[in-house]
């Protein structure tokens, strides 16, 4: 805290000089918060920063790219795990899932912080993190969420492919000639 900030506080100033991100002490003491990994904490911090860049509006439409998470200090391999963990513990909702691709095809994900107000959410915030009541439950949920999804026998992620049409066993055949 700078000297200017200290002097403002010592004179009984009621304002904070600059933007801030409020978090309930109840949330900071919750089992879900204590189970979060360092990467998930950084993820929430970066999403809070983005929320403040929008003056506390647009919660549910917050866009933070993979590269922005990495430049904030997250390891590249930890971003997806941290997102899954924060969602599973009830701190974040992915409102639109993005997809990678070439410049014309890619879309960034959009996020909502459940502990901040958002349009279309009744009350102040939805606070899904409150549903977790014990530290053991929170730790189990966090470990399961961080696990790589659909790991194959070699430990690598198995790419899930959706079959085209209804018949997944379709095999290509010679094309039939078109009648003119």
* Burial (CB count <10 Å: 0-12, 13-18, 19+), residue 50: middle
Task: Specify the pTM.
Answer: 0.73
Partnered with residue 111 across adjacent β-strands are: 62, 94
H or E segment and range at residue 157: none
DSSP states of 67-127: HHHHHTT--GGGHHHHHHHHHHTTSEEEEE--B--STTT-B--EEEETTS--TT-SSS---
The alpha carbon dihedral of 161, 165, 168, 169 has a sign of negative
To which residue do tokens 């790991």 refer?
151
What pLDDT was estimated at residue 82?
Answer: 96
Q: What is the pLDDT of residue 33?
A: 97
Q: Output the pLDDT for position 57.
A: 86
Side-chain half-sphere CA neighbours of 9 within 13 A:
8
Which tokens sit at 142?
A: 């966090």
pLDDT for 170: 45
pLDDT along the chain (180 residues), means of 10: 52 74 92 97 96 90 93 94 96 90 82 89 84 96 85 57 48 55
Nearest to residue 87, comparing CAs of 136, 47, 145, 45?
Answer: 145
Instruction: State the pLDDT at residue 165.
Output: 47
Q: Walk me through the domains of the chain, giving residue ranges and CATH numbers.
A: 20-146 (1.10.10)
């Amino acid at each position: 805290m700078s000297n200017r900030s200290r002097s403002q506080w010592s004179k009984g100033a009621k304002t904070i000089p600059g933007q801030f991100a409020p978090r309930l002490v109840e949330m900071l003491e919750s089992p879900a918060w204590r189970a979060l990994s360092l990467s998930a904490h950084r993820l929430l911090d970066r999403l809070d920063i983005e929320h403040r860049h929008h003056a506390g509006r647009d919660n549910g439409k917050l866009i933070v790219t993979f590269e922005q998470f990495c430049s904030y200090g997250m390891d590249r391999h930890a971003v997806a795990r941290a997102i899954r963990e924060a969602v599973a513990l009830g701190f974040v909702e992915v409102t639109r899932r993005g997809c990678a691709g070439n410049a014309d095809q890619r879309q960034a994900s959009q996020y909502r912080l459940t502990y901040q107000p958002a349009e279309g959410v009744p009350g102040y915030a939805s606070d899904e993190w409150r549903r977790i009541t014990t530290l053991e439950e929170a730790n189990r949920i966090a470990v399961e969420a961080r696990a790589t999804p659909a790991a194959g026998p070699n430990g690598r992620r198995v790419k899930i492919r959706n079959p085209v049409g209804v018949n997944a066993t379709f095999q290509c055949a010679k094309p039939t000639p078109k009648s003119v």
